[in-house]
Amino acid sequence: MAAQVELDVVDMRLLRALQEDARMTNRELAARAGIATSTCSDRLARLRDAGVMCGSAVRIEPSAVGRPLEAMLAVRVHPHRRPLVDPFVQHVLAQPETRHLYHLTGPDDFLIHVTVVDAGDLQRLVLDELTARDEVVMVHTHLIFHQWRGGPLMPPGAEG
């Protein structure tokens, strides 16, 4: 986790532009931020080195690769102890259907976002990979009809 970094208006412009279109060239990005391309390169390197920018990725549409059904699986494990939790986490992350895994407070211990081929594939995942494990005591399945992505992540108080 990166320490909080002091970001100025130019940093904010760069981050906002990259979150909207990460494929933008350095020249286009510099123009959007109103700075020279060399300055843009230096600032991006500083933001990466400081841990503000962490990686770049392509988002793949699940239905385009044969996984049109998405679900959230709320899971409870018992006992909730590290010797069981760590192997469970590794097991879940090893499943090709897992998109995201969250460790939670509250009545559920984990929330798993999965993409699957169909309802039968989801049933197989729940029965063979989750409830078959001794530490899993409950799985609630929530189908996702549609999802929306929020806007760019900006620090509190950043200009909109």
* In the chain, domain spans: 9-49, 62-144
9-49: CATH number: 1.10.10.10
Q: What's the start-to-end Cα distance of the chain, in Å?
A: 25
Q: pLDDT digits over 77-133, tens only?
A: 999 999 999 999 999 999 999 999 999 999 999 999 999 999 999 999 999 999 999
pTM score above 0.85: no
pLDDT band at 159 (very low <50, low <70, confident <90, very high): low
Dmax (CA) of the chain: 59
Q: pLDDT digits over 120-147, tens only?
A: 999 999 999 999 999 999 999 999 999 9
Q: What is the CB neighbour count within 10 angstroms for residue 18?
A: 19
pLDDT at 133: 97
62-144: CATH number: 3.30.70.920
Whole-number CA gyration radius for the chain: 20
Q: pLDDT digits over 34-51, tens only?
A: 999 999 999 999 999 999
Query: Which has the closest alpha carbon to 154: 2, 19, 42, 63?
Result: 19
